[in-house]
C-alpha cells in the first residue's frame, strides 16, 4: 500500500488509540469520516475513489496478479474496509484537530453506556484519549477524602502518564515532576498546547521550576515571581511538518560524516523554509496570535533532549523573536518562519556533533516549541525588559575569595536577554556574584566602563524587527528606570543618576546595575529562588529571567522576576586540584593568579597554540575565521590525544577580531581553553563566563582559563611556546600554510619523557601548567 511516506505520529496515535476499541472503532471511524465530509476536507466520492484505487494497488503489492479470480468478494470487502480505515485515520490526522478525535471517541463510548465507573477500569491510560484521562482525574480529585484515597494510585498514574505524554519522558524529570504537578497544572498546559506530542525540555523546565517556586518558595519569592504567558507546540508536529513537506529524507542526517553535515545544512534550511503547515495547525496559530494581541513573542526551541539533566544543549538550537506588530497574516508568517527555522536548527552541525559527542545520536530527537509573550516596557518606539539575564545557583568563578559559591551568579543585561546568554562581539554583560552583588570583577572606573554593556537588544515596534542598538543611542534621561541601570562616569568615580534631565548627556552613562542591586531586593531574591530550585532539583540549576522594576519613583522600589526557563546547571567534575608546594621554575609552562573554575587536566601531551602575533597579522577577518575552521580540523585529528588550546582574546566570539572564532564543534576534544590577553592582545576574556559557549566547555569538561600577560606575577614560558618544533604538518599535512599562526607543540619535544599537568587550585587562587615526569 502506498500511503504518503512516513506515517507520522499523528496517524499512528489515532491508530493506536482505536486499537483499544476493536468493535467500536468502526463506528468511531464512521463518525470521523462524517466530520471529514461535513467539513469539506474531501467529498465522499473522491474518498471512495481513492479507497478503491489504493486497494487495487495494494493487491499488486501483495502479489495478486489476477485479482478477480484470485480474491474472493468477502476478502476484497475486507481489503476495502482496512484501506478505508487507514485512509480515514490519515485524512483525519492531517486535517482535523486531535481534540476532535478525542471528542468523537468519548461520545461514542458514552453512547454505548460506558459510564464513568466503567471507564475507570476499562481503559489503558497510555492510549486513552487525554480528555478521558483529565475527566477521570478531575473526578477523583473532587471525591470526598475517604473515597479519593482509594483512587490515589490511579490519580498518580494518570498524572505520570500525562507528564510522560505531554511534558517529558526523561525519568529523572518525571521522578521530580510527578510530586509537583497537579491535574489543573496539566490541564493548563493542555489548553495552551498546539499539536500532538510533548512540550520538550525547555518548557518542561520552566513549568516545573515555576511550580516548585509557587509551592515552596518563600512568601517574598512567590509574591514577586511572574510567569510569562506561554504556549506550547507539541514535538510531534516536527514530523508532521517534515512528512507533509517531503523533508523526511533528512532524517538520517545525524549519521552522516561531519563534512557532509556541515555542507548540507544551508540546503536543509532552504528546503525547510519552503514548507507549509497543515491548515488546522495554521488556524490554531492564528487563534494564538489573536489571543496575545500585539504583544511581542519569543519562539524558543524546546526539544526533547534539551535542558535535560546533564546535557543542556545550551544554545544549540535557535530562538527567534516575533515583534508581532504587523497584520494577522504577516504575524502568522513571521511566527511560522520562526518555527520552521527552529525545526531546521535540529539538523545544524553544532547540535548534531554535540549529540554525537554526548552519545545522544540515536535518540529520536524532536522539536517542541515554547512561545512566550515577551515581558517588557515601551520606550521610544522600542520594546524591551528593564533587565534580563541568566542566573546560576552555583558560582563557578569567584573573582574574589569572599564570594560564596552557593549564593549563585548572574549575567545581567539591559534589554532582551540574548546578550547575556551568548558571547557577543565587543560587549559585556554585568557579572554579579549574588553573595556580593556590588563587588565588580573590575576595580577601576575606567575598567568597569570598558567592560560594561554597550549594545542593547530590543524589539523595534515601528519596523517590526529585532534589533541591536548602541546603548547610548537608546538610553536617555527620560527612561523611567535609568537610575537603576546606569551610573554616571564622573571621571574618577561613578555616581548614581540623582536627577534626570532631558538636556543631559547620555554618553557618560555606564550600565552598572549597581542601583538595581543596591536598592531592590533583586540579588537576595534571586539567591533564594535559585537555592529553592537547587534543593528540589537535587542539582545546581541554571535559569533565564527578565526583571521588571515596578515602582521606580518610590523610595522602596519593587522588582518582579519572570522566570523563562530552568535546567540543571552544567558543572565540572571534581578532581584533585591542589598545586604542589614547590614547582621548579624551569618546569612551569604558565602560571596565573586569576580565578578559574577549580580543576585538573592530567597528562597533557599536546598544546595547540594560536600565536597572538600570527593571528593578528592575518590580513582579513575572513582569514581569521578560516583559522577557526583549521582549529576544527586539528581538533578532529587530535581525537585520541590529550591536548589544550592556548590563544589570544575571546575564544568562541562571533567577531574574529576579538579572538579565535570557534564553536563547540571546533574544540570539543580539547581539555582546556586558555585565553591570552594583555596590551594589544585580544579582548578581555572573563566575559565568556556563563555564556552558552562557556556552558559547552564546562559540560564537556573543557576548562576555561584566562592569562593576563600584563599581570605582574604571570609566568608564560615563551621558550616552550615559540622555540619548539611545530607538529601541525604531522596531523594536517595539507594545512602547512597556517604554521605561522598555528603551532602544535608536542610536550615531549620540549622535554622528552615529560607531560604537562594543568592545575587550577581555587583555594590557593592560582593556576599553573607544569611539566611532570611520565610515570
Partner 1 sequence: MTELINAFQMAQRQFDHVANQLNLDPQVAEILRWPAREFKFEIPVRMDDGSIRLFFGYRVQHNDARGPNKGGIRFHPSETLDTVRALAMWMTWKTAVADIPLGGGKGGVPVDPATLSVTEKERLCRGWVQQMWRNIGPRQDVPAPDVGTTPQMMGWMMDEYSKLVGQYTPGVITGKPVGGGGSLGRTEATGFGVIYTVREAMKHLKLDPTRSLAAIQGFGNVSQYAAIGFTELLGGKVVCVSYWDRADRAAYTVSHPNGVDPRYLQSITDQYGTIDKDQARKAGYIIEEGDAWIAKDVDVLIPGALEGQINAETVKRVSSRVRLVAEGANGPTTPEADEVFKKNKVFVIPDFLCNAGGVTVSYFEGVQNDMNYYWTKGEVLERLDTKMTQAFQSVLEMSEGEGVYMRDAAYMVAIKRVVTAMELRGWI
User: How many Å apart are CA 17 and CA 5, to the nearest integer?
Assistant: 21
Least Å distance, CB 224 to partner 1, is: 19
| Min dist. Cβ of residue 248 to partner 1 (A) | 59
Residue among 426 and 554 whose Cβ is closer to partner 1: 554
579 with 599: CB under 8 angstroms?
A: no
Task: List binders of partner 1 among 238-297 (CB under 8 A).
Answer: none
By beta-carbon proximity to partner 1, the closer residue of 559 and 672 is 559
Distance CA 608, CA 613 (A): 15
CA distance 406 to 393: 6
User: Which positions ≥6 away from 164 have C-beta within 8 Å?
Assistant: 174
- Residue 501 Cβ, how far from partner 1 at the closest point, in Å? 6
Least distance CB 499 / partner 1 (angstroms) = 4
Strand pairing report for 465-470 and 387-392: unpaired
- Give the per-residue contact string, 492-531, with partner 1 (x = CB under 8 A; - = no): ---xxxxxxxxx---------------x------------
Contacting partner 1 (CB under 8 A), which of 29, 483, 528, 671? 483
Going by C-alpha positions, the residue among 230, 238, 394, 211 that lies closest to residue 317 is 238
Applying CB under 8 A, the span of 396-404, 490-498, 588-596, 709-717 interacting with partner 1 comes to: 490-498
Burial zone of 463 (CB within 10 Å; 0-12 exposed, 13-18 middle, 19+ buried): exposed
CB 558 within 8 A of CB 224: yes
Least Cβ distance, residue 495 to partner 1 (angstroms): 6
Task: Select 502 or 639, whichever has its Cβ closest to partner 1.
Answer: 502
Residues 649, 660: contact at Cβ < 8 Å? Answer: yes
For residues 498 and 639, which CB has a smaller minimum distance to partner 1 in the complex?
498
Cβ closer to partner 1: 202 or 519?
Answer: 519
| Residue 304 Cα distances to 100, 140, 366, 470, angstroms | 26, 30, 6, 36
With respect to partner 1, which residue has the nearer C-beta, 459 or 497?
Answer: 497
Cβ distance 349 to 261 under 8 Å?
Answer: yes
Closest CA to 87 of 143, 37, 152: 37
What is the spatial distance between Cα 144 and Cα 141, in angstroms, rounded to a whole number? 8
CB of 382 to partner 1, least distance (A): 19
Q: Which of residues 453-482 bind partner 1 (CB under 8 A)?
A: 477, 480
Residues present in the chain in total: 775
Stretch in the footprint of partner 1 (CB under 8 A) among 224-232, 445-453, 491-499, 762-770: 491-499
Query: Min. distance of Cβ 471 from partner 1 in angstroms?
Result: 19
CB closer to partner 1 out of 554 and 576: 554
Q: Which of residues 676-715 bind partner 1 (CB under 8 A)?
A: none
Report, in angstroms and rounded to the nearest whole number, the Rg of the chain calculated over CA atoms: 30
Which positions from 323 to 362 touch partner 1 by CB under 8 A, shown as an x/- string?
A: ----------------------------------------
Q: Say if residue 413 is exposed, middle or buried (CB neighbours under 10 Å; 0-12, 13-18, 19+).
A: buried
- Nearest-approach distance from CB 379 to partner 1, in angstroms: 14
**Collapsing DSSP states into helix, strand and coil, what is residue 129?**
coil
**Residue among 397, 380, 747, 699 at smallest CA distance from 590:** 747
Instruction: Give the span between the Cα atoms of 346 and 365, in whole angstroms.
Output: 8
Name the one range near partner 1 by CB under 8 A: 98-106, 383-391, 550-558, 570-578.
550-558
In the bound state with partner 1, the residue whose beta carbon lies nearer, of 268 and 511, is 511
Least Cβ distance, residue 483 to partner 1 (angstroms): 6
Task: Answer yes or no: are the C-beta atoms of 542 and 390 closer than 8 Å.
Answer: yes
Give least dist CB 368 to partner 1, A: 44
Least Cα distance to 407 among 522, 531, 513 occurs for 531
Residue 554 binds partner 1, judged by CB under 8 A: yes
Number of residues that bind partner 1 (CB under 8 A): 17
What's phi and psi for 161, nearest 5 deg?
A: -60, -45
Nearer to partner 1, 477 or 602 (CB): 477
Residue 433 or 482 having the CB closest to partner 1: 482
Nearer to partner 1 among residue 159 and residue 488 (C-beta): 488
* Interacting positions 4-33 with partner 1 (CB under 8 A): none
Binding site for partner 1 (CB under 8 A): 477, 480, 483, 495-503, 519, 553-555, 557
Amino acid at each position: 500500500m502506498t500511503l504518503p511516506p512516513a506515517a507520522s505520529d499523528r496517524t499512528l496515535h489515532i491508530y493506536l488509540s482505536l486499537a483499544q476499541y476493536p468493535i467500536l472503532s468502526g463506528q468511531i471511524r464512521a463518525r470521523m469520516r462524517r466530520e471529514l465530509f461535513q467539513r469539506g476536507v474531501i467529498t465522499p466520492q473522491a474518498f471512495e475513489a481513492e479507497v478503491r484505487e489504493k486497494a487495487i494497488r495494494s493487491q499488486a503489492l501483495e502479489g495478486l496478479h489476477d485479482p478477480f479470480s484470485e480474491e474472493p468478494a468477502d476478502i476484497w470487502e475486507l481489503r476495502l474496509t482496512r484501506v478505508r480505515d487507514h485512509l480515514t485515520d490519515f485524512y483525519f490526522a492531517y486535517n482535523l484537530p486531535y481534540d476532535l478525535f478525542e471528542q468523537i471517541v468519548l461520545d461514542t463510548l458514552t453512547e454505548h453506556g460506558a459510564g464513568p465507573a466503567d471507564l475507570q477500569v476499562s481503559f489503558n491510560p497510555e492510549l486513552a484519549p487525554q480528555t478521558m484521562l483529565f475527566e477521570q482525574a478531575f473526578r477523583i480529585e473532587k471525591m470526598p477524602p475517604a473515597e479519593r484515597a482509594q483512587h490515589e494510585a490511579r490519580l498518580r498514574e494518570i498524572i505520570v502518564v500525562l507528564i510522560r505524554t505531554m511534558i517529558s519522558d526523561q525519568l529523572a524529570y518525571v521522578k521530580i515532576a510527578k510530586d509537583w504537578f497537579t491535574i489543573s497544572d496539566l490541564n493548563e498546559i493542555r489548553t495552551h498546547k498546539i499539536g500532538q506530542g510533548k512540550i520538550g525540555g525547555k518548557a518542561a523546565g520552566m513549568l516545573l521550576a515555576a511550580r516548585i517556586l509557587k509551592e515552596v518558595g518563600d512568601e517574598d519569592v512567590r509574591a514577586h515571581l511572574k510567569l510569562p504567558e506561554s504556549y506550547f507546540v507539541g514535538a510531534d508536529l516536527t514530523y508532521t511538518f517534515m512528512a507533509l513537506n517531503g523533508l523526511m529524507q533528512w532524517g538520517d542526517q545525524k549519521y552522516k560524516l561531519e563534512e557532509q553535515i556541515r555542507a548540507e545544512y544551508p540546503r536543509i534550511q532552504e528546503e525547510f523554509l519552503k514548507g507549509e503547515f497543515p491548515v488546522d495547525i495554521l488556524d490554531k496559530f492564528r487563534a494564538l496570535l489573536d489571543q496575545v494581541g500585539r504583544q511581542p513573542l519569543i519562539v524558543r526551541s524546546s526539544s526533547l533532549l534539551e535542558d535535560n539533566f546533564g546535557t543542556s544543549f545550551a544554545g544549540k538550537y535557535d530562538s527567534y523573536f516575533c515583534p508581532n506588530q504587523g497584520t494577522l497574516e504577516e504575524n502568522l508568517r513571521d511566527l511560522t518562519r520562526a518555527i520552521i527555522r527552529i525545526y531546521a536548527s535540529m539538523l545544524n552541525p553544532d547540535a548534531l556533533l554535540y549529540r554525537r559527542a554526548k552519545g545522544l545520536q540515536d535518540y529520536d530527537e524532536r522539536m517542541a516549541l515554547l512561545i512566550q509573550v515577551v515581558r517588557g516596557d515601551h520606550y521610544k518606539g522600542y520594546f524591551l525588559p528593564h533587565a534580563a539575564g541568566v542566573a546560576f545557583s552555583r558560582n563557578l568563578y569567584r573573582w574574589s575569595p569572599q564570594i560564596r559559591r552557593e549564593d549563585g551568579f548572574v549575567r545581567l543585561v539591559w534589554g532582551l536577554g540574548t546578550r547575556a546568554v551568548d558571547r557577543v562581539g565587543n560587549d559585556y554583560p554585568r557579572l554579579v556574584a549574588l553573595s556580593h552583588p556590588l563587588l565588580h570583577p573590575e576595580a577601576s572606573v575606567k575598567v568597569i566602563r570598558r567592560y560594561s554593556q554597550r549594545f542593547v537588544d530590543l524589539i523595534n515596534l515601528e519596523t517590526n524587527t529585532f534589533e541591536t542598538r548602541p546603548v547610548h543611542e537608546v538610553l536617555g534621561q527620560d527612561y523611567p528606570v535609568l537610575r537603576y541601570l546606569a551610573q554616571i562616569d564622573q571621571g574618577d568615580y561613578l555616581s548614581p543618576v540623582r536627577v534626570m534631565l532631558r538636556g543631559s548627556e547620555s554618553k557618560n552613562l555606564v550600565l552598572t546595575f549597581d542601583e538595581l542591586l543596591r536598592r531592590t531586593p533583586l540579588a537576595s531574591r534571586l539567591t533564594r529562588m535559585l537555592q529553592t530550585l537547587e534543593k528540589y532539583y537535587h542539582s545546581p540549576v541554571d535559569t533565564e529571567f527578565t526583571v521588571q522594576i515596578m515602582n521606580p519613583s518610590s523610595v522602596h522600589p519593587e522588582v518582579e522576576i519572570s522566570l523563562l526557563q530552568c535546567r540543571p546547571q552544567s558543572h565540572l567534575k571534581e578532581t584533585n586540584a591542589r598545586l604542589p608546594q614547590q614547582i621548579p621554575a624551569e618546569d612551569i609552562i604558565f602560571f596565573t593568579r586569576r580565578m578559574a573554575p577549580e580543576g585538573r587536566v592530567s597528562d597533557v601531551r599536546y598544546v595547540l597554540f594560536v600565536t597572538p602575533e600570527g593571528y593578528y597579522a592575518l590580513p582579513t577577518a575572513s582569514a581569521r575565521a578560516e583559522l577557526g575552521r583549521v582549529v576544527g580540523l586539528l581538533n578532529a585529528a587530535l581525537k585520541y590525544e590529550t591536548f589544550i588550546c592556548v590563544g589570544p582574546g575571546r575564544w568562541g566570539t562571533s567577531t574574529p577580531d576579538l579572538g579565535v572564532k570557534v564553536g563547540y564543534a571546533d574544540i570539543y576534544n580539547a581539555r582546556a581553553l586558555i585565553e591570552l590577553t594583555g596590551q594589544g592582545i585580544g579582548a578581555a576574556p572573563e566575559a565568556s563566563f556563563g555564556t552558552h559557549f562557556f556552558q559547552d566547555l564546562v559540560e564537556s569538561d573543557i576548562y576555561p582559563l584566562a592569562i593576563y600577560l600584563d599581570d605582574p606575577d604571570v609566568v608564560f614560558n615563551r621558550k616552550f611556546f615559540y622555540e619548539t618544533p611545530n607538529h601541525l604538518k604531522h596531523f594536517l599535512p595539507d594545512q602547512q600554510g597556517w604554521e605561522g599562526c598555528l603551532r602544535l607543540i608536542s610536550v615531549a619535544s620540549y622535554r622528552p619523557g615529560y607531560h604537562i599537568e594543568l592545575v587550577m587550585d581555587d583555594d590557593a587562587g592560582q593556576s599553573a601548567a607544569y611539566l611532570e615526569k611520565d610515570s
